[in-house]
Amino acid sequence: MSIHILPIQLVNQIAAGEVIDRPASIVKELVENCFDAQAKQIIIYIEQGGLRLIRISDDGVGIEKEDLPLALSRHATSKISSLEDLEHVTSMGFRGEALASMSSVAKLTLTSRIENTSHGWSVCSDGAEQFFDIQPAAHPKGTTVEVRDLFYNTPARRKFLKSEKTEFSHIEMAIKRMALSRFALGFSLFNQQKEVLKFPPAFNLAQQEHRVMSICGENFIDNALHLDFEISGFSLNGWISVPTFSRSQTDMQFFYVNGRLVKDKSMSHAIKQAYSDVLFQGRHPTFVLFLTLNPEEVDVNAHPAKLEVRFRETRAVHDFIVSCVKRTLANVRPAISNYNELLKSESEFKPTQDFSPRYQQQSLEILEPKIYQTLYSEPKEISIDNKEVFDTNPNRMILGYAITHLHGIYILSETATGMVLVDTHAAHERITYERLKQQYATGKIATQPLLLPMKITVTKSEAELAENSEHFFTELGFELNRIAPETLLLRAQPALLQDSNGEQLVRDVLADLLEHEESYRIQGEYNEVLAKIACYGSVRAHRILTQDEMNALLRELEQTERGGQCNHGRPTWISLSTSELDKFFLRGQ
C-alpha cells in the first residue's frame, strides 16, 4: 500500500475522536476557552441534549477579525508560542485543536467582537480549514460559539450517544464542576430555552459556600470542614467532609490543580491515606479541594483531554495533601463543632443539678506508662480512674455535665445550648486509640526475629529498590537484606505484627514504593493492631459508670484529636439544641 497524506478534515475528525466523545466534551472545551478569554459571565444554551444545538457566549476580550480563520485552524493558539511557555502553562487550553476538531464533526459558527469596535464578525467552518467567509455581525463584546447538528457527518459516532436526558445530565455536571473552579465567574445554563442553573459570582467565603451547597447539597456543606494551608510554595484550600459524612461512591470528589479539574492517582491515594484512620470501611469521603503550585512544577500536557497531570515532585505534593487533610480532621472535636454557639449562652448556663468543680478536673487513665506491657500482653479491661491532669475552665465544658448513663450505653449530658448523647464505648475507644498512637510513636519499634529466615523472590528492580531502601525498612522494624540479584532475605519483622504475613507485607511495601515513592502500609497495619487493642480495652456496653467517670470521659473527649468519631468511623456523640427540642414538642407554636 502506498503512503499518502490524510485530508485535513479527516485529520481533524481523528483528533476529535480523542477529546469529543459526547456533547459534554464540547461544552467543557468551550467553557474553558471562556476562562482563558477573561470572561466574567458565561451563558450556555442547549437543545436536544446538545445534539441539535450548543451555544456558549461570554463577555471576554473577544477575537479580532483577522484571527477568526486562525482560531478555526488546527494547532493555532494564542496561549503558547514556545516550549518554555508549555513548561509553565497557566491557561486552560493550549493545544489549538478544539475548534478545528469540533468543526469537523458539527456545523460550527464563531462570532466575536473586541472592545472599542462598532460590530463583530462571524465565520463558519466545516473542518476543512479553507474558504473561510467572514461576515459582519451584531454582537456585544465577547465571543459566541454555536455548534449545531453534532456528528451529522459521522453517524456512527451518534450511535454511541445516550438519550437526550442523559446527555444533558452530563452537560449539567460538567458546568457544575467548572463552576466550582471559578467562583468569581457567573454561569447560566439553559435547556430548551429554560434556565436550569444560575450561579452568580461568589467573592467571599459565605457566597462561595453557597455555591458549593448548590452543587454538592446542603448536607455536604453542613458536614464540611473548611481548610486553607500554604507551605513552601504549595497552597491547598477548600472543603472536606467530616468522617461521619461519607458516600458509597467517589461521585462527590472534586480536585483541582491550578484551577483545572483532574483525576490523579497520587492525589486520590493521599486523600484516602489521610482518612484511613477515621473512615468507615468501604466508604468514601466527599471534598472540593484546590491545589495551587508553581506551573513549572506540574505538567498539564499529559492527556489529550487534559484530565490528568504529572507533578515534578509527586511525593512532596502527596505528603503535603496528607498532612493538610490530617491536620484538619484532627481538629474534629466537640469544641470546634458548637463552640461559637456555646459562647453566646454559657454565661447564663446553670446546670439543673449541683455539680461541683471536682467533676471538671477528672480524666481517664487510659494506659500504663510502659506501653509495651499493654501491647504485648493479653487485652485487658482498662479502668477509668480519677486523675487530675489539667485545670479546665468550668465555663468551657463543651460536652456539658453528665446527667445519667442510659441503658449502660449512652451518656446523657446537659449543655449550655441543649443536650448531648455520647456513645460511651465509641468515645473511650477513640480516646484510648489516640493515646496508644502517641505513646507508640515515641518508642523504638520492637522487632521479632524469625525462627527461620524467609527467602523472598522478587524482580530485579524490586530487589534494587529494597536494597536502596534498607534504612526505610529498618525504621519500620524489618531486617531485610538483598542476598542475590532477585532474592531478599527477611530475618525479622515488627513485634507488633508478628502474626502478620511478613513476605506479603514486604511485597506490598515495595509495590507502594514503586508507585508512590512512599509507603504508609506498615503504619496502617500498626494502627489496625492498636485500634483492636483500644476496642478490647475500652468501656464495654452495659457497664454503668459513675457520674465522676462519665464527666471524666467527657472532659477527655473534648481534648482528643478526631474525637468526633470512633476508630471504625462511627460518631461518638450527637447534640440537640434547645430550639430543636422545642420543635419536637411544638413549643411556641
Task: Verify that 481 and 378 share a domain, yes or no.
Answer: yes
Average pLDDT for the chain? 81
Chain segment 386-412, per-residue pLDDT in tens: 333 333 444 457 888 999 999 889 999
pLDDT category, 202, cuts 50, 70, 90? very high
Buried b (16+ CB within 10 A) or exposed e, 88-121: ebebbbbbbbbbbbbbbbbbbbbbbbbeeeeebb
456: CATH? 3.30.1540.20
What distance in Å separates the CA atoms of residue 480 and residue 493, rounded to the nearest whole number? Answer: 9
Q: How confident is the model at residue 17 (pLDDT cuts 50, 70, 90)?
A: low
Mean pLDDT computed over 401-430:
91
Q: Clarify whether residues 359 and 487 are in a common domain.
A: yes
Q: What confidence score (pLDDT) does residue 110 get?
A: 94
Report the amino acid identity of residue 262. Answer: V
Question: Cell match 527467602: residue?
Answer: 455
* Cα–Cα distance, 239 to 221 (Å, whole number): 8
In angstroms, what CA-CA distances link 271 with 160, 177, 528?
34, 19, 18
Position 384 pLDDT exceeds 60: no
Task: Tell me what pLDDT residue 73 has.
Answer: 78
**Residue 564 · residue 243 · CB < 8 Å:** yes
pLDDT at res. 86: 58
Please say if the pLDDT value at position 335 is more than 60: no
Cα 21 to the chain's mean position, in Å?
26
Specify the pLDDT at position 374.
Answer: 42
Q: Over 50: is that where the pLDDT of 367 sits?
A: no
Considering only CA atoms, which of 213, 122, 141 is closest in space to residue 176?
213
Window from 152-156, 342-346, 585-589 with minimum mean pLDDT:
342-346
Residue found under cell 439553559: 190
CATH assignment at residue 131: 3.30.565.10
State CA 287 to chain mean position distance.
4
Between 533 and 124, residue with greater pLDDT: 124
pLDDT at 131 over 80: no
Q: Do residue 248 and residue 278 come from a single domain? A: yes
Residue 345 falls within a domain, yes or no? no
The residue type found at 5 is I
Residue 346 lies in a domain: no
Q: Is 2 exposed, middle or buried (0-12, 13-18, 19+ CB in 10 A)?
A: exposed
Name which residue leads in pLDDT, 485 or 397: 485
Boundary-marking domain end, from 199, 221, 239: 199
Q: State the pLDDT confidence band at 360, using cuts at 50, 70 and 90.
A: very low
The percentage of residues in the chain with a pLDDT greater than 70, rounded to a whole number, is 77
My answer on whether 81 and 222 are in the same domain is: no
Does residue 239 surpass a pLDDT of 90? yes
Q: Which three cell numbers stand for residue 249?
A: 461512591
Co-location of 417 and 277 in the same domain: no
Average pLDDT over residues 578-588: 87
Of 181, 199, 217, at which residue does a domain stop? 199
Average pLDDT over residues 143-161: 89
What value does the mean pLDDT take over residues 271-291?
88
Specify the pLDDT at position 25. 92
If one counts every other C-beta atom within 10 angstroms of the C-beta of residue 451, the result is 6
pLDDT band at 336 (very low <50, low <70, confident <90, very high): very low
CB-CB contact of 446 with 372 (8 Å): yes
Both 371 and 234 in one domain: the answer is no
Distance CA 565, CA 278 (A): 7
pLDDT at 144 over 60: yes
Is residue 58 located within the same domain as residue 161?
yes
Report the pLDDT averaged over residues 167-175. Answer: 96
Model pLDDT, residue 205: 95
Domain membership of residue 2 (yes or no) is no
- CA 64 to each of CA 69, 156, 328: distance values in angstroms, whole numbers, following the listed order: 10, 36, 48
Domain assignment of residue 338, yes or no: no
Instruction: Give the domain-ending residue among 330, 365, 388.
Output: 330
- Residue 215 and residue 195 in contact, taking contact as beta carbons nearer than 8 Å: no
Q: Are strands 186-191 and 41-47 parallel, antiparallel or unpaired?
A: parallel
pLDDT value at position 391? 36
Characterise 14 by phi-psi region: left (phi > 0), alpha (psi -120 to 50), beta (else): alpha
pLDDT level of residue 571 (50, 70, 90 thresholds) = confident
- Cα 459 to Cα 456, 487, 488, 510: the distances in Å are 10, 8, 10, 11
CA nearest neighbour of 246 among 281, 274, 215, 277? 281
Residues 6 or more apart in contact with residue 53 via CB below 8 angstroms = 45, 46, 47, 146, 147, 148
Asked if residue 355 has pLDDT above 70, the reply is no
What is the Cα–Cα distance from 243 to 229, expressed in whole angstroms?
20
Q: What is the pTM of this model?
A: 0.71
Who has greater pLDDT, 268 or 537?
268
Rounded CA-CA distance 218/241 in Å is: 12
**What pLDDT does residue 203 have?**
94
89-103, 313-327, 337-351, 435-449: range with lowest mean pLDDT: 337-351
**Residues 449 and 575 both lie in one domain:** yes
- Do 193 and 89 fall within a single domain? yes
% of the chain with per-residue pLDDT over 90? 40
Query: How high is the pLDDT of residue 65?
Result: 93
CA distance 30 to 540: 59
Shared domain for 190 and 88, answered yes or no, is yes
**585 and 467, same structural domain?**
yes
What confidence category does residue 383 fall into, taking pLDDT thresholds of 50, 70 and 90?
very low
Number of domains within the chain? 3
Q: Could you tell me if residue 341 is inside a domain?
A: no
In 182-313, alpha helices (H): 205-216, 218-222, 265-275
Confidence of residue 82 (pLDDT cuts 50, 70, 90): low
Cα–Cα–Cα angle for 114, 120, 123, rounded to 5 degrees: 115
pLDDT over 70 at 305, yes or no = no
Q: What DSSP designation does 88 have?
A: T
Confidence of residue 296 (pLDDT cuts 50, 70, 90): confident
Does residue 152 sit in the same domain as residue 277?
no
- As a whole number, mean pLDDT of residues 61-72 equals 90
pLDDT at 246: 86
CATH number at 288 reads 3.30.230.10
Domain that holds residue 581: 351-589
Residue 337 lies in a domain: no
* Integer Cα distance of 208 and 206 in angstroms: 5
Q: How far apart are CA 411 and CA 402, in angstroms?
A: 7
For residue 310, which of 295, 299, 319 has the smallest C-alpha distance? 299
Q: Does residue 343 form part of some domain?
A: no
